[in-house]
Amino acid sequence: MMRLHLVRHGPTHAKCMVGWTDLPADLSDTAALQRLSDHLPQQAVMLSSDLTRAVATANAISLPTRQRLPHDSDWRELHFGAWEMRGFAEIEAEDPDRIRAFWETPGEVRPPQGESWNDVLARVGAALDRLTAHGPDVIVVCHFGAIVAALQSCLGLTSEQAFSHRIDNLSVTQLHKTAAGWDEIAVNHRP
């Protein structure tokens, strides 16, 4: 049995496609961080993506009773390649068919020099498999794409169903693994 608590990092305030670009998180809302930390189990294993915004958020909610594991790059955001740090409208004007297909029919379509949705599912699936040795409570501080990929992998959702979820900054998505499989406890919970 394992309870998986997926936390989305603090906001970057960027108004563009931010994937592997290493932007910092705005962690000035200390009250929200305290509520988040209080909501999560005190006795838990905790890890994060290796990107600064996730590491800093994990540091902000860390407790001496939460065992930290090494950062894991498999929990990173989608890699947008040539679309990194560019606005949707700009990319749509340049490559309308590809960007629409990327978001509307996620799968093998990829941004130039980026990764496909299936690539993200594979790396997050591998990261999920590595977590089975830990528990009963595991906290992972990561990104929108990684959380949505975990929902799809664990719950057997289609890509369209997975992408329909809203995942806010500093929210918690909780999944529970039993002998029978995974169950959704909460998605996008804001403590």
For the chain, domains (ranges, CATH) are 2-81+122-189 (3.40.50.1240)
> Which pLDDT score, from 0 to 100, does residue 84 have?
97
How far, in Å, CA of 170 to CA of 40, rounded?
Answer: 12
> Which pLDDT score, from 0 to 100, does residue 135 have?
76
Mean pLDDT, range 56-67, rounded to an integer: 97
CB 117 within 8 A of CB 152: no
How far, in Å, CA of 3 to CA of 182, rounded?
Answer: 9
**For residue 52, which of 148, 157, 141 has the smallest C-alpha distance?**
141
pLDDT in tens, 163-189: 899 999 999 999 999 999 999 999 999
CA distance between the termini of the chain: 24
